[in-house]
Amino acid sequence: MTVKSNKGVILKAYPKGIPEVDKNFELTHRTIDIECLNLKENEFVLRNLYLSIDPYVRVTLHDPALNFMKHGKMISTGQVISGLGVSEIVKTNNPNYKVGDLVYGPIGWEEYSHIKSDDASVFSFMFVNKELLKDTPLSYHASFLRFGGLTSYTSLIDIGKPKEGETIYVSTAAGLTGQLVGQIAKIKGLRVVGSTGSDEKVDFLLNELKFDAAFNYKKVDLDKALSEYCPNGIDIYYDNVGGKTLEVALEHCNRFARVVACGMISQYNIETPEEGYGIKNLANIVVKSIVFQGFIALDYIGKDIEKEFEKDIIEWVKSGKIIYKETVIDGVENIAKAFVDMLNGKNIGKYVIKIADY
Amino acid sequence: MTVKSNKGVILKAYPKGIPEVDKNFELTHRTIDIECLNLKENEFVLRNLYLSIDPYVRVTLHDPALNFMKHGKMISTGQVISGLGVSEIVKTNNPNYKVGDLVYGPIGWEEYSHIKSDDASVFSFMFVNKELLKDTPLSYHASFLRFGGLTSYTSLIDIGKPKEGETIYVSTAAGLTGQLVGQIAKIKGLRVVGSTGSDEKVDFLLNELKFDAAFNYKKVDLDKALSEYCPNGIDIYYDNVGGKTLEVALEHCNRFARVVACGMISQYNIETPEEGYGIKNLANIVVKSIVFQGFIALDYIGKDIEKEFEKDIIEWVKSGKIIYKETVIDGVENIAKAFVDMLNGKNIGKYVIKIADY
């Protein structure tokens, strides 16, 4: 039988605010006949194995009629949602890929993805590093050893420019990015302060990741907390949230501070510019000679720092200098719930969906 | 007779909004007896010659009870206001300075300034460059050849990183900083677009400074104007104003754009954070990998780029590649009016006050 199940998750309705599983997503029970599928030039078919659950995906779900944030690949209602993951090539008409290759790139929230030629470049789909695979589970290659870890490492080193003895404040510190940034900053000799949204996560940051200080932002006045936990001011603010947190952090920044603009999760669920939080104290950037810089992980692909990342991260994980915490959840039918839970801050560590056995 | 007139301008009342001459400033007719004045260790007395009229001074006049912007040297009511200028040392108890030396630094809005030891460091008061003085009037040394020009040059080169063929948008383009930034960008081969507050200044930018495009921001919709004049988007936004202008410019920035945060004149007259303009679209910084960086000219003192600035600027002025337009106004009694006029955008080019003959 060549016809296979190809369950997938489509966008049912553009979310307003934080999405809800039943309202905004729909599981579809489609099939795919791989043998009979006719591939055009450069096309290929993926059997998806592990999918990374990332906040950026929320930005791709905005109603185009309302959306003001431009993002590379927007999803329309009725379309399968896209995310980053690891897959096996099962059919190919592309000279760069052969059947059996393991690749990392933008895949569908589905069992099999038919990649059209526009998306089939070697820039979009990278090979899984086989050397690293000897020492690490395949799930790590869906995010931690790729854009997930690369995001933390490159931006902290290249934009944050950490120096021993400095203070770094990390928001959403218990997420994948925050965890890694904090731990790398510890290795570099900084005072590491993190905020997160539950007492359980505070414990995790303090007791497992050994942050110097951590607090539950829902329970404190941020201004007072930063005065208490960053008594020498902030030299690096690693910003995953934007909005009010950014505004308060700017007041605590020292001269020549670096603000790494990694994400603005507080602004991802808004639909119109008017709903956005207005930052009123950017004059701090002028009077304190602050660098406030955005980036995406893709900016660093192919640069020397990508190689340095692979070398360092493997050594740190092997030697136990860095703890990487992930939760692997089974099945396409659980993607939407994992995504919504992550946006609601329920995860400790990284959510990865296991779509199929390898 | 050793007693001399020492007219000065004191702060009468903290301004709300743009200051008014009679309401906020007071001319005082004091005297000074230089011969009898007892100088403590490191102190000296300046005979002030030229004073630069700069927007940053507004930030130093905030009521400390209301002010939220921290600035190095705040002025209290009853105190003589401070600004940058050129002076002659007329009495000294400081081994670094001798009578007759010409220096540049933070002087009072007054005829003579008694510099106390806290302010008497060689870092605060630099010597006027005698080599440059052979080719240039002394008034140029009160701003253009010092922090005025240095501000434009260093920030454009170091933060803006201009590349041939790129587009730069400069706000308050007819001020000293804007003029120089635009002209240096032309020399570097960029498309230069400027905005300013009167048709007369638009003419000046287009016809004298040869900007590629210029417009009166009071007469246009900024979003439409930027679409029209920056058809390939903005690669460098040189921001002198902040607020709404910054918000609109961010929408027109290209990937990897650089935003040079030189000043936020639109935010200098506000007294509380609540009055500030809230920027709602900072997510552009994340998704477009934008660098948004502040600085003060002092950051570059003693670095190689300071020497490069002096070399280039003199060559450009001599060869006519750069036009520097200044208006020299006579007398301490006209300082407050010149300052208020500048804040109201009445100047074309740089206002410099001539306090005394040299």
We report the CATH number of the domain holding residue B58 as 3.90.180.10
CB A237 within 8 A of CB A167: no
Q: What is the pLDDT of residue B129?
A: 87
Using a CB-CB cut-off of 8 Å, the residues of chain A touching B299 are: 289
CA nearest neighbour of B129 among B114, B140, B113, B115: B140
Q: What is the pLDDT of residue A72?
A: 62
CB contact under 8 A, B68 and A281: yes
- The reply to whether B105 and B172 lie within a common domain is no
Is the pLDDT at B71 greater than 60? The verdict is no
A302-314 residue pLDDT tens: 899 999 998 999 8
Report strand pairing: A213-216 vs A191-196: parallel
- The reply to whether B254 and B286 lie within a common domain is yes
- The reply to whether B94 and B25 lie within a common domain is yes
At residue A176 the predicted structure's pLDDT band, cuts being 50, 70 and 90, is confident
Is the pLDDT at A269 greater than 70? The verdict is no
Give a yes or no: residue B311 inside a domain: no
At residue B211 the predicted structure's pLDDT band, cuts being 50, 70 and 90, is very high
- The reply to whether A239 and A340 lie within a common domain is no
- Report the residue of chain B nearest A248, measured CA to CA: B273
Measure in Å the smallest separation between the Cα of B16 and chain A Cα atoms: 18
Is the pLDDT at A67 greater than 60? The verdict is no
Is the pLDDT at A2 greater than 80? The verdict is no
Nearest-angstrom CA–CA distance, B273 and B278: 10
CB contact under 8 A, B285 and A292: yes
Give a yes or no: residue A309 inside a domain: no
Report strand pairing: A44-52 vs A82-92: antiparallel
Which residue, chain included where needed, has tokens 């900072």?
B282
Is the pLDDT at A70 greater than 70? The verdict is no
- The reply to whether B102 and B228 lie within a common domain is no
Q: What would the two tokens of residue B68 be?
A: 């939220």
**Average pLDDT rounded to a whole number, residues B215-242:** 96
A232-248 residue pLDDT tens: 999 999 999 899 999 99
- Report the residue of chain B nearest A68, measured CA to CA: B281
CB contact under 8 A, B294 and A289: yes
- The reply to whether A108 and A233 lie within a common domain is no
Measure in Å the smallest separation between the Cα of A267 and chain B Cα atoms: 8
Give a yes or no: residue B81 inside a domain: yes
Percentage with pLDDT > 70 across chain B: 95
The CATH number linked to B235 is 3.40.50.720
Give a yes or no: residue A285 inside a domain: yes
Own/partner contacts of B314-321, CB < 8 Å, gap of 24 or more, are: B314/B132, B314/B135, B314/B136, B316/B183, B316/B184, B316/B187, B317/B136, B318/B135, B321/B183, B321/B187
- The reply to whether A189 and A51 lie within a common domain is no
> Domain count of chain A?
2
Give a yes or no: residue A199 inside a domain: yes
Is the pLDDT at B272 greater than 70? The verdict is no
- The reply to whether A129 and A162 lie within a common domain is no
Is the pLDDT at B247 greater than 80? The verdict is yes
Between CA B144 and CA B152, with CA B148 as vertex, the angle to 5 degrees is: 110
Is the pLDDT at A318 greater than 90? The verdict is no
- The reply to whether A194 and A182 lie within a common domain is yes
- The reply to whether A82 and A98 lie within a common domain is yes
Measure in Å the smallest separation between the Cα of A217 and chain B Cα atoms: 21
Q: What is the pLDDT of residue A124?
A: 86
Give a yes or no: residue A310 inside a domain: no
Give a yes or no: residue B292 inside a domain: yes
A36-54 residue pLDDT tens: 999 999 999 999 999 999 9
At residue B111 the predicted structure's pLDDT band, cuts being 50, 70 and 90, is very high
A85-140 residue pLDDT tens: 999 999 999 999 999 999 999 999 999 999 998 887 777 899 998 888 888 899 99
- Report the residue of chain B nearest A263, measured CA to CA: B286
Give a yes or no: residue A315 inside a domain: no
3-state SS class at B183: helix
Nearest-angstrom CA–CA distance, B302 and B308: 11
- The reply to whether A51 and A70 lie within a common domain is yes
At residue B269 the predicted structure's pLDDT band, cuts being 50, 70 and 90, is low
Using a CB-CB cut-off of 8 Å, the residues of chain A touching B284 are: 69, 294
- The parent domain of residue B243 ranges over 147-299
**Average pLDDT rounded to a whole number, residues B175-194:** 96
- The reply to whether A36 and A61 lie within a common domain is yes
- Quote the ipTM score: 0.86
